[in-house]
């Protein structure tokens, strides 16, 4: 059964994916210089600018956004779990990379990286758990 909480989780993942995806594909150099915004610079800290890589990451986020939004709309349990599994694979690999590269950041950015990326992993995993209304 797909519940309201599943739809909320899918909406959160879709919104964050859309923001990252549109920014990275539409304005890759701006994304590289300024992500996640508010004076923080997580991407540029990790090496030279590569437009191809930034646009590919943005495209991956947009693809996950489409899958998540479609699962939210259709709300079939199998589709919700498939969207959760896709977000989970991406999220775990993304999170693992960042966990191994936190040394370049100050304390606040280390914490924000772990919370943001770890949170998306938790949300994706929650989509795999059946919940009853």
Q: What is the pLDDT of residues 37-72, one digit of tens each?
A: 988 999 998 889 999 999 999 999 999 999 999 999
Q: Strands 40-41, 36-37: parallel, antiparallel or unpaired by DSSP?
A: antiparallel
Give the HSE-up count for residue 10: Cα atoms under 13 Å, Cβ half-sphere.
28
Give pLDDT, residue 1. Answer: 56
Distance CA 116, CA 120 (A): 6
Percent of the chain with pLDDT over 90: 88
Give pLDDT, residue 113. Answer: 96
Distance CA 44, CA 25 (A): 16
pLDDT of 93 over the 70 cut: yes
pLDDT of 133 over the 60 cut: no
Phi, psi of 105 (to 5 degrees): -105, 155
Give the HSE-up count for residue 108: Cα atoms under 13 Å, Cβ half-sphere.
4
pLDDT of 131 over the 80 cut: no
Average pLDDT over residues 11-23: 97
130 confidence band (pLDDT: 50, 70, 90): confident
Distance CA 23, CA 17 (A): 10
- E strand or H helix that includes residue 40: strand 40-41
Distance CA 84, CA 95 (A): 15
């Amino acid at each position: 059964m797909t519940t309201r909480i599943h739809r909320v989780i899918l909406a959160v993942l879709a919104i964050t994916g859309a923001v990252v995806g549109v920014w990275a594909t539409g304005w890759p150099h701006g994304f590289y210089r300024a992500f996640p915004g508010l004076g923080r610079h997580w991407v540029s800290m990790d090496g030279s600018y590569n437009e191809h890589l930034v646009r590919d990451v943005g495209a991956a986020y947009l693809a996950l956004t489409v899958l998540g939004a479609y699962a939210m709309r259709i709300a079939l349990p199998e589709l919700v779990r498939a969207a959760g599994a896709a977000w989970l694979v991406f999220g775990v690999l993304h999170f693992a990379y960042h966990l191994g590269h936190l040394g370049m950041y100050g304390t606040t950015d280390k914490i924000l990286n772990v919370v943001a990326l770890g949170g998306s992993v938790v949300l994706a995993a929650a989509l795999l758990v059946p919940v009853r209304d």
